[in-house]
Amino acid sequence: MKLIIDNIPCEARPGESLYDIVKRLGFVNGRLSNDPIVAKISGRVFTLGYVPVREKDVLPERKTIRTAMSASGGIVKLLRYSDPQGREAYMRTAQFVIFLAIETLWPDSRAKMSCTVGSGVYFKVTGCDFSVDTLKEKIDEIIAADLPLTRRKVPTSEAIAYYEKQGFEDKARLLKYRKNTTFKIYESGEFKDYYYGEMAASTSALRSFDIIPSEEGFIFVLPDLKNPDKVSEYRESPNFFSVYTEGKDWGELMGCETVADLNEHVKSGKIRELIRVNEALHEKRFSEIADMICERGAKAVMLAGPSSSGKTTSANRLATQLRVHGKTPILMSLDDYYIDRDLLTPEPDGTIDLEHINTIDTELFGIHLKKLLDGEEVELPSFNFKKGKREWQGHKLRLTERTVIIVEGLHGLNPCLLPDDLAPNLVFRLYVTPLLALNLDDHNRIPSSYLRLLRRTVRDFESRGSSVQRTLSMWDSVRRGEERWIYPFQENADVILNSSTLYELCVIKKHIYPLLTPIDASDECYDQVRAMVKVLNYVLEADVDDEIPPTSIVREFIGGNSFYK
């Protein structure tokens, strides 16, 4: 069969995998920046172990063409580390090698994949005399062995029995909620595991990385995004890490650490109590932050966070708590300081990066902030998004002794917004982000970005009339903006607020599932939707919207938020 791989015509031999073909064509040269990790065929991502033409397909009595090959007309796009889906496959491959190494070295230990910390991922290892150096040696050995990572379909009951026998109760419990009678599993020798997506064809694909010690485990440091042939520079994020740990403590307190735990709360009816406790913990945190602001004597709160983190609701809930202290909070938005669209310099491709710091009139904002904190009256601008221009509508503001302004915006923690001569005690920096402490199982975390994407998809559809396709088409650009303009400054925050709730996956499923299921393989965003559905398929839906208070952060996305009325 004739294929076109990255615009190069070639012939696929019966039984030959994509990995064999790309090596034959010279696409593999031992550099992560160049080597393909997975492939995209007709909108779906495939492992390079995929065989385009099987031996049985060319038998005289069959003469068949595989579905993906037929749909794509033989066109194959190779995905590398520079592609988001390539990076995800690289991380899954790393997970497999890491857990294989740990299982080989310390079979009685318990290893858990936890949160992303800067350019690394934290793994917790307990129940053994763990050594980073020993782990590194074993991982290097596995990579050098160039072990093929084969995937096969097994009965779900067989996978459950295997995990129970191996002592992986977390995986066995999760699979009991799987509706499909079969389960795909990756294996190397006797070791079997799965990470809910495609992986590289061989352990040798794992190249640029480092492993550094951390409390009760280690940090797996990822390749540099701009230059994947070298390891990223890792910077410790103690504030971020402590907040994530607090979230884990909340999960342990409420007996909800995995999706299987959440499902059992739904089945037993305890989900309502989980909602009440989770919301009470949030309210307590807002109260504590308000206490800190007042104790410092701050007059301005700079509030930032990534997309769909719940910034608007957080600003309003904080304002409520400040009122308890006798303060008069006033909400401001950095969006009103956008520079007129026709004055912005386009990118080389003609587009305008609306998330760039240069789209904000930082000088004007700094002048206004300084004048306000000095007790002067200032006329505040308003940005007309339909016209793409700043307007002046006579909105004047002068702070009193009781006034606290809460400034919400993407760039809220960027130091360039604040004048150099501003008294440090007058400004309080708050970073809001949903650090979901709920795992699928010990070896599979649910990224916070996944939760934010679910939130944004539902909100955009419900309140902005935006299709799933449009939301997903913008997501990679949104993520790039966050990497550049938000994450580098998150440790500047005085407080990081975890805006996730342990219960929301079972609630949001009811709202998002009907939006995702109509999208089929012919759609450009199908693979993204498929990845979202894979997780949701394990989550039991809960019809408990009536239990969620109108001031909840979750209400910002599913509707019924009293701050929007």
**How confident is the model over 18-71, as pLDDT tens digits?**
999 999 999 999 899 999 999 999 888 999 999 999 998 888 877 788 988 998
Q: Is residue 382 part of a domain?
A: yes
- The per-residue DSSP string of 169-229 comes to HHHHHHHTT--SSEEEEEEETTEEE--SS---SBGGG--S-EEEEETTEEEEEPBPSS-TT
What b/e readout covers 233-244, taking b as 16+ CB neighbours within 10 angstroms?
ebeebebbbebb
110 and 153 part of one domain: yes
Residues 6+ away with beta carbon under 8 Å from 218: 122, 123, 125, 132, 135, 211, 212
The two structure tokens encoding residue 207: 């190249």
Those residues with Cβ within 8 angstroms of residue 299's Cβ, 6 or more apart along the chain or in another chain: 372, 373, 399, 403, 404, 405, 426, 427
Contact 327, 294 (CB under 8 A): yes
Domain that holds residue 419: 238-558
Is residue 200 within 8 A of residue 146, CB to CB? The reply is: no
Q: Sign of the CA dihedral 404, 405, 408, 413? A: negative
Domain count along the chain: 3
- Of 196, 221, 246, the domain-final residue: 221
Whether 329 and 460 share a structural domain: yes
pLDDT at 143: 96
Q: Give the separation between CA 136 and CA 39, rounded to whole angstroms.
A: 29
Is residue 531 located within the same domain as residue 417?
Answer: yes
The answer to whether 325 and 294 are in contact (CB under 8 A) is yes
> Tokens standing for 281?
């913990």
Q: Is residue 226 part of a domain?
A: no
Q: Cite the beta strand spans of 389-469 per DSSP E.
A: 389-397, 403-408, 427-433, 439-441, 444-445
396 and 542 part of one domain? yes
CA atoms of 337 and 333, how far apart (whole Å) = 8
Based on the fold, state whether residues 200 and 261 are members of the same structural domain: no
> 563 lies in a domain?
no
User: Are residues 109 and 196 located together in one domain of the fold?
Assistant: yes
Long-range (24+ apart) CB contacts under 8 A made by 273-282 are: 274/502, 274/503, 275/501, 275/503, 275/544, 275/547, 275/548, 276/547, 277/253, 278/250, 278/254, 278/501, 278/502, 278/503, 279/501, 279/548, 279/549, 279/552, 281/250, 282/317, 282/499, 282/501, 282/552, 282/553
* pLDDT for res 565: 63
Determine, yes or no, domain membership for 13: yes
Using alpha carbons only, give the angle 506, 512, 513 rounded to the nearest 5 degrees: 85
Residue whose structure tokens are 């904080």: 318
Phi-psi map region of 442: left, alpha, beta (phi>0 left; psi -120 to 50 alpha): alpha
The separation between CA 484 and the C-alpha centre of its own chain, rounded to angstroms, equals 15
Q: Within this chain, do residues 207 and 312 fall inside the same structural domain, yes or no?
A: no
Which two tokens mark 243? 């907040």
Which pLDDT does position 557 carry in this prediction?
95
Judge if 460 and 547 occupy the same domain.
Answer: yes
| Per-residue confidence (pLDDT) for residue 189, from 0 to 100 | 85
Single out the residue of 403, 407, 401, 400 nearest to residue 322, CA to CA: 403
Q: Does residue 232 sit within a domain?
A: no
- Two tokens, residue 518: 């109509």
Which of 221, 246, 267 is where one domain is finished? 221
pLDDT of residue 203: 95
**Do 375 and 504 reside in the same domain of the chain?**
yes
219, β-bridge pairs: 122, 212
> What does the pLDDT read at residue 8?
94
Q: Is residue 10 part of a domain?
A: yes
Q: What is the dihedral of CA 237, 240, 245, 250, to 10 degrees?
A: 180
In angstroms, the CA 291 to CA 465 distance is 39
Low-confidence stretches of the chain (pLDDT beneath 70)? 565
Domain annotation covers residue 440: yes
> Do 174 and 207 fall within a single domain?
yes
Chain centre distance of CA 269? 29
CATH code of 134's domain: 3.30.980.10
State the CATH number of the domain containing residue 519. 3.40.50.300
| CA–CA dist 94, 100 (Å, integer) | 10
Q: Is residue 62 part of a domain?
A: yes
pLDDT in tens, 257-288: 999 999 999 999 999 999 999 999 999 999 99
Q: How far apart, in whole angstroms, are the C-alpha atoms of residue 291 and residue 284?
A: 11
Domain identity same for 60 and 155: no
**Domain limit, last residue, from 49, 80, 111:** 80
Do 27 and 12 share a structural domain? yes
- Residues 6 or more apart whose CB falls under 8 angstroms from that of 69 comprise 1, 3, 41, 52, 53
Place of tokens 């604040």: 418
Tell me how far the alpha carbon of residue 561 is from its chain's centroid: 24
Give the amino acid at 244: Y
